[in-house]
Structure 1
Amino acid sequence: MDFHLNEQRKLMIASVRDLAQGKFKTRGLQYLDGSFPWDNIRELAHIGVLGMAVPEEYGGLGLPVFDTALILEEIAKTCYVTAMAVLGEAGVQTRVISTYAPKEMRERILPKVCTGECILAVCMTEPHAGTDVANYRTNTVVKGDRLALNGTKTLISRAPEAGVFVVFTRINGQPGREGIGCVLVEAGTPGLAVTGTYHTLGGENLHEVQFNDCELPLENLVIREDGFKKLLTAFNTQRCLNPSISLGLAEGAFDESIKYVKERSIFGGPISDSQGIRWKLADMYRDIEGARGLLYKACASANPFPDPFQSAVAKITCNEVAIRVTSEAIQVHGGYGFTDEYLVSRLFRGARYGTLGGGATETLKDLIGRRLVKDGDSPDGILALAA
């Protein structure tokens, strides 16, 4: 497949790269304590990047999944925390609002997403249920023209900063997947509380969010019918954007390793003279390029959402490649690579998240396996699986 970047894409990526390499890389250390990267977010808003998933009619760029993945990949090369913050504005929550929310809400919320005035938080995981959506206990009762929301969500990104929470919830206590819907809750709503903080290996904070008799207008119920199906369809986009961050982390670690082996000397010469080091670099590059091809192919399948089979394969591959490559980058750097001051250490921390978020690796492997059993004996051969 041809993934040629036209001039517009090249200019866009160059603008992001200049910011990331010039500013985000040096600021990355300060975000390891859980601080939100407001400075980086404002600068990305200034060049329009926060609106990349927002339709043009609401002030955004309306970019396809492929372009969005390219931008996240570039940011992740220098700062995992910033990439995750931007994912919140480009991921499933923005697409839920732009696709399913009433026009008045889209007009009010989405322009503020573009400018960085409104940070979005998607609330899915519960203390007892992550991937097992059918066992959600958070519930919304419809009472005439009002809604009453109760429940607890956990491991939520950007909760203290969020202006709008996109909450997947059961509707009227209907059991199973058929009962899943989605409501929007704005910050400041009585009964909404951020009640817990978990500091992560990658540096960002995750939070617990409680909804205690939150009263909402009926129009805040943005998904009621086929909620589970709509959730999974929109989430396929997340399964291309999550691995784009993993790919960027691997590329950033590889770039740093190339620089380091040329500058660092051992036994009277650069360590790049060592065959063992060169073989490590060769394996790292091979992993990255293989993962890139799978990811870009999955992104190109989006119409408007990516193919679930291709995105699952790409996600698993990119997530695992990021762990391997960032780990090898630390080995290449020796003891320095184990310190916070060196970028490869921070990239390694972030890489561990990929297999956990956006669909756990084990869940996606099962999805892939079922598809292989169902269609693996196609008369057109293995290529038919990804057609």
Structure 2
Amino acid sequence: MRIELNEEQKQIVATVREITQGEFKPRGLQVMDGTFPWENIRRLADIGVLGMAVPEEFGGLGLPVFDTALVLEEIAKGCYVTAMAVLGEVGVQTRIIATYAPGHIKERILPGVCTGEHILAICMTEPDAGTDVANYRTNVDIRGDRLVLNGTKTLISRAIEASMFVVFTRVDRAPGREGIGCVLVEQGTPGLKVTGSFHTMGGEFLHEVQFEDCELPPDNLVIREDGFRRLLSAFNTQRCLNPSISLGLAEGAFDEAVHYMRERSAFGRRIGDFQGMRWKLADMFRDIEAGRGLLYRACATADPFPDPFLAATAKIYCNEMAIRVTSEAIQVHGGYGFTDEYLVSRLYRGARYGTLGGGTTETLKNLIGKRLMEGEESADGILALLLDA
């Protein structure tokens, strides 16, 4: 399968690459203390990147998942923190609003996403339930013409900066997965509190968010019927965009390793002239290209959301590949690679998040194994099963 970018795709990738390498990468160390990269976000808003997931009628570009993945890949090469900030605007939270919210809410929120005025936060993980959605305790009661939300979410990105929270919650205390829906909560709603902050090894802050008798208008319940299935369908987008960041981190580390091996000398020779070092590059390149093929193929299935089987496969591989490649890039740099001043150190720390967010590796392996066990036997084997996914 050969991937050919059209002229529009080539143009936006080239523009984002120039901005990332010229602006974001040089100041990447400045946002490692948890500072939200407002300057970078506004720069990307100016060229339309924040509106990639927003339909054109609301001021966005309305681009497919593949185009969005290409852009996140480029940003991640130079700054993990900025890539994660952009993911919050082009990922599942925006797509849930664009797909399921009433028209007047779309009109109120989505144009501001494009300009960077509205920062979105998605609230899924709870102190006692992450992947185990069926055990969510957060609940929204429907009381006549109002909603009342109670519960706690944790490890939430952008909770301080967000103007809107997209909250996965139980609806009217209905049990199990079938009771899960989604509500929108605006920053400043009485009863909403950011109660804890955790600084991550990747440089971001994550937060705990509490909802105590938060009263919401009925239209803020954006998903109720068939909520679990619809939410998971939308969330498969995240399982393509998360690994696109992993792919970009690996590529950025690889580029840094190649440059360093060309410039650094030892024992009177460039270190890239030693066989062992060249083998490192060959392994890194092979792994990156394998990940690219898996990811791009998964992205190509999005209509509007990617195939869950292929997205899970791509995510597992790219997440784990990025850890290997960024680690090897540090090894290439020797002691310098262990310092904050060298980009490879920051890329490695960012790569470690991939297997944790958007569905853990272990959960996704279970999903893939179940699909393979339940699939019909084929004379053409596993390849046919994948192609029919």
Q: TM-score band, normalised by the shorter chain?
A: over 0.9
For the pair 1:251 / 2:229, whether they are aligned, the reply is no
Q: Secondary structure at the match of 2:215?
A: strand
1:345-384 equivalences in 2 (<5 Å): 345-375=345-375, 377-384=377-384
Q: Secondary structure at the match of 1:53?
A: coil
Q: Secondary structure at the match of 2:27?
A: helix
For the pair 1:54 / 2:54, whether they are aligned, the reply is yes
C-alpha distance in structure 1 between counterparts of 2:239 and 2:286, whole Å: 22
Equivalent pair of 1:127/1:153 in contact (CA under 8 Å)? yes
Q: Secondary structure at the match of 1:72?
A: helix
The residue type equivalent to 1:50 in the other structure is L
The residue type equivalent to 2:98 in the other structure is S
| Residue in structure 1 matched with residue 173 of structure 2 by the alignment | 173
1:200-211 equivalences in 2 (<5 Å): 200-211=200-211
Equivalent pair of 1:299/1:306 in contact (CA under 8 Å)? yes
The residue type equivalent to 2:135 in the other structure is N
Q: Deviations over 1:295-327 (max 9, x none)?
A: 000000111111111011100000000000000
Q: Deviations over 1:72-129 (max 9, x none)?
A: 0000001111000000001110011001111001001000000000000000000000
C-alpha distance in structure 2 between counterparts of 1:300 and 1:174, whole Å: 36
| Residue in structure 2 matched with residue 25 of structure 1 by the alignment | 25
Q: Secondary structure at the match of 1:162?
A: coil
Q: Secondary structure at the match of 1:169?
A: strand
1:19-98 equivalences in 2 (<5 Å): 19-98=19-98
C-alpha distance in structure 1 between counterparts of 2:310 and 2:34, whole Å: 33
C-alpha distance in structure 1 between counterparts of 2:218 and 2:7, whole Å: 45
> How much does 1:378 deviate?
2.0
C-alpha distance in structure 2 between counterparts of 1:380 and 1:267, whole Å: 53
For the pair 1:335 / 2:345, whether they are aligned, the reply is no
C-alpha distance in structure 1 between counterparts of 2:43 and 2:244, whole Å: 21
> How much does 1:27 deviate?
1.1
C-alpha distance in structure 2 between counterparts of 1:309 and 1:339, whole Å: 38
Identity %: 76
What is the TM-score of this pair, normalised by structure 1? 0.99
| Residue in structure 2 matched with residue 134 of structure 1 by the alignment | 134
> How much does 1:164 deviate?
0.4
The residue type equivalent to 2:329 in the other structure is A
Equivalent pair of 1:376/1:382 in contact (CA under 8 Å)? no
Q: Deviations over 1:28-53 (max 9, x none)?
A: 10111111000100000000000000
C-alpha distance in structure 2 between counterparts of 1:129 and 1:27, whole Å: 36
How many residues of Structure 1 are paired with residues of Structure 2 in the alignment?
Answer: 387
C-alpha distance in structure 1 between counterparts of 2:281 and 2:376, whole Å: 35
| Residue in structure 1 matched with residue 241 of structure 2 by the alignment | 241
| Residue in structure 2 matched with residue 274 of structure 1 by the alignment | 274
C-alpha distance in structure 2 between counterparts of 1:370 and 1:379, whole Å: 20
> How much does 1:201 deviate?
0.9
C-alpha distance in structure 1 between counterparts of 2:134 and 2:313, whole Å: 24
| Residue in structure 2 matched with residue 307 of structure 1 by the alignment | 307
C-alpha distance in structure 2 between counterparts of 1:261 and 1:119, whole Å: 40
Q: Secondary structure at the match of 1:285?
A: helix
| Residue in structure 2 matched with residue 125 of structure 1 by the alignment | 125
C-alpha distance in structure 2 between counterparts of 1:340 and 1:93, whole Å: 32
C-alpha distance in structure 1 between counterparts of 2:212 and 2:314, whole Å: 39
C-alpha distance in structure 2 between counterparts of 1:217 and 1:245, whole Å: 36
Q: Secondary structure at the match of 2:9?
A: helix
Q: Secondary structure at the match of 1:208?
A: strand
The residue type equivalent to 1:323 in the other structure is I
The residue type equivalent to 2:35 in the other structure is S
Q: Deviations over 1:131-176 (max 9, x none)?
A: 0000000010101110000000000000000000000111111110
The residue type equivalent to 1:155 in the other structure is L
1:142-181 equivalences in 2 (<5 Å): 142-181=142-181
> How much does 1:376 deviate?
6.2
| Residue in structure 1 matched with residue 9 of structure 2 by the alignment | 9
Equivalent pair of 1:252/1:347 in contact (CA under 8 Å)? yes
For the pair 1:191 / 2:198, whether they are aligned, the reply is no
Q: Secondary structure at the match of 2:293?
A: helix
C-alpha distance in structure 1 between counterparts of 2:299 and 2:386, whole Å: 13
Q: Secondary structure at the match of 1:353?
A: coil
The residue type equivalent to 2:234 in the other structure is A
C-alpha distance in structure 1 between counterparts of 2:9 and 2:73, whole Å: 13
Q: Deviations over 1:305-352 (max 9, x none)?
A: 111110111000000000000000000000000000000000000000
C-alpha distance in structure 1 between counterparts of 2:177 and 2:364, whole Å: 18
The residue type equivalent to 1:19 in the other structure is I
| Residue in structure 2 matched with residue 220 of structure 1 by the alignment | 220
Q: Secondary structure at the match of 2:326?
A: helix
4+ residue stretches of structure 1 with deviation over 4 A? none
Q: Which runs of 5 or more residues in structure 2 are unaligned? A: none
C-alpha distance in structure 2 between counterparts of 1:386 and 1:232, whole Å: 20
| Residue in structure 1 matched with residue 386 of structure 2 by the alignment | 386
